[in-house]
Structure 1
Amino acid sequence: FRNLNPFRFYINSNSYSVGNPFLQASFSDNFEFSHAYKKKLNSSIYLNVTTDGYGTVFTSDAENQTQIITRENYYQQYNYGITESFSFHEVSWFKSDNSINLLGYYTKFNQNFGATPKNGIQVYLSSNNTFSLSKKIKLQVNSYYSSQHDRGLFSVGEMFDLSLGIQHHFKNNLKISFLFSDVFNTASLKNYISTVNRIKQNYRQNESSRNVRISLSYDFGNKKVNVKNRNFGNDEEQRRSN
């Protein structure tokens, strides 16, 4: 709704955001080839083509010292990449899922608003790991890294996340969990840079991704109950109908 709302939303005295009620839908064509090896190594290459793409455009009124944030259908973009994912579940006390992504961006603008397309390469790494310290206690270590890259109208700064969690199971179906997300407070968007009409704008956004969460859960019911399948006289008719 915000993308279409034509009324101004003031961020501060010198900046406001406005939607575009004439915004049109974009179309995306996706092509992907993937290969799985022994359920451990997954490889894929892909191409994504976006037509009549829409997004946020940061413009400036230098005379009035005002920044205007609008939405426009303004580009055609080609995204391509290679992804390698590896899973390690060979031992009972350790599980790990990892991926390496090499992504490329090529963009053409459909309209002239005083900016030049930015094309570049992004490296994205992720790793999710679970350690079983005992039968009742599990430790979780998750992280990702996104390199600085150019994409369309913007240059995007690098981001890094490290999150830690621990979980304890009690005998009576009670479970307590502790999660510390974004330990170093480095996963927020920063250095989101665009240059329109030779005016460079740097945008940052931190939605408090660093936080601590404690949760307590309890599973009701008897896990030892045996459930038997019951056959009905019309099973054959049901299979044919499905």
Structure 2
Amino acid sequence: MFPTVYASYKKNENNTFSLNYGKRINRPRFDLLNPFKVYINSNSYSKGNPFLRHSFSDNFEFAHSYKEVLRTSVFVNVITNGYGVLFTSNPETNTQIVTRENYFKSLNYGIGESYSANFAEWWSSENSLYFLGAKTEFIKNINATPSNSLQIDFSTNNTFILGKTTKLQIDFSYSSPFESGLYEIGYASSFDIGFKQDLFNKTMQIAFLANDIFNTSYLKDFTSVVNGVKQVYSQNESNRFVRLSVVYNFGNKKINVKERAFGNQDEKKRTGN
């Protein structure tokens, strides 16, 4: 059974408290089970593990909301039989092997603050700041030592109304470098700009989006030490793109549902129904 339990208490118009718990199962994807080798280069290959098992997570959260503007949350996440990627190496053959194993259990915890505000009639903003930590234990002998550190996660999403028909969106997110179990992980950030313009009495919309402008949201400095060998991995599957879209709505907006209904009634009278 994987229950979800939620309780809420509204102390007054300004303060609301909530407590929730959920148990979940995380099943590995098919490609993680596929045992065939996929060569990355002449000295490195990746393969799945057909004996990989699912993991379980128990999630607890206590939250306080003030005027539905400021929200504080404290949460704990417990993972058992956790699985993930292992980078191993064979110094004799100078070969790197990327595989998957159920090798850890972890206790993840944190505290977060979310703030929604209208700084002016033309400026609304959604902001969040989280401090995250973890304690990891290896349940399989992989000849490595777990380590964990504090992680800071911040995001801000801002909408600016530049006129009755013009909107500007500016978003920024940042995750600090941190250590989590087997890995040390580099920072990630993203800076996005969006623009929307309505034309011809809102029958046409022009939208522009520049996503991850500085190309900094990819996985970088993914570092582990197994069998005394330090390995550093980066994967730049770039999220940077630019998109321009134009939408035009055809049709006569003066026709409403009531007019169509009257037309149907007249047709029925003519047919004798």
Distance in 2 of aligned mates of 1:35 and 1:122: 22
2:39 equivalent to 1:10? yes
Instruction: State the Cα distance separating 1:102 from its structure 2 match.
Output: 0.2
Q: Tell me which stretches of 4 or more aligned residues in structure 1 moved more than 3 Å.
A: 218-227
1:101/1:216 CA distance change after superposition, 3 Å = same
Instruction: State the Cα distance separating 1:225 from its structure 2 match.
Output: 4.0
Q: Which residue of 2 aligns with 1:182?
A: 212
2:144 equivalent to 1:103? no
Instruction: State the Cα distance separating 1:184 from its structure 2 match.
Output: 1.4
Instruction: State the Cα distance separating 1:119 from its structure 2 match.
Output: 1.1
The share of aligned pairs that are identical, in percent, is 50
- After the TM superposition, which residues 1-242 of structure 1 pair with which residues of structure 2 at under 5 Å, given as runs? 1-89=30-118, 91-170=120-199, 171-219=201-249, 222=253, 225=256
Q: Which residue of 2 aligns with 1:230?
A: none
Distance in 1 of aligned mates of 2:217 and 2:255: 43
Render the CA deviation track for 1:158-196: whole Å, top value 9, x for unaligned.
Answer: 112111111111124221111111111211111110110
Instruction: State the Cα distance separating 1:92 from its structure 2 match.
Output: 2.8
Instruction: State the Cα distance separating 1:207 from its structure 2 match.
Output: 1.1
Q: Which residue of 1 aligns with 2:4?
A: none
Larger radius of gyration: 2
Instruction: State the Cα distance separating 1:114 from its structure 2 match.
Output: 1.2
1:104/1:168 CA distance change after superposition, 3 Å = same
Distance in 1 of aligned mates of 2:86 and 2:256: 58
Render the CA deviation track for 1:34-77: whole Å, top value 9, x for unaligned.
Answer: 11110100100000000000011111111111111101000001
Query: What's the TM-score, normalizing by structure 1?
Result: 0.89
Distance in 2 of aligned mates of 1:80 and 1:162: 27
Q: Which runs of 5+ in 2 are unaligned?
A: 1-29, 259-273
Structure having greater relative contact order (Cα 8 Å, sep ≥ 6)? 1
Aligned residues, how many? 227
SS of 1:3 mapped into structure 2: helix
1:172/1:96 CA distance change after superposition, 3 Å = closer
Instruction: State the Cα distance separating 1:90 from its structure 2 match.
Output: 5.4
Instruction: State the Cα distance separating 1:215 from its structure 2 match.
Output: 1.6
Distance in 1 of aligned mates of 2:157 and 2:119: 15
Instruction: State the Cα distance separating 1:223 from its structure 2 match.
Output: 8.7
Q: Which residue of 1 aligns with 2:261?
A: none
Instruction: State the Cα distance separating 1:89 from its structure 2 match.
Output: 2.6
Distance in 2 of aligned mates of 1:56 and 1:123: 23
Render the CA deviation track for 1:7-49: whole Å, top value 9, x for unaligned.
Answer: 0111111111100011111000011001111010010000000
Q: Higher mean Cα deviation, 48-57 or 157-166?
A: 157-166
Give, as a single letter, the amino acid of the residue that structure 2 aligns with 1:177: A
Q: Which residue of 2 aligns with 1:232?
A: none
CA-based RMSD of the aligned residues comes to: 1.6
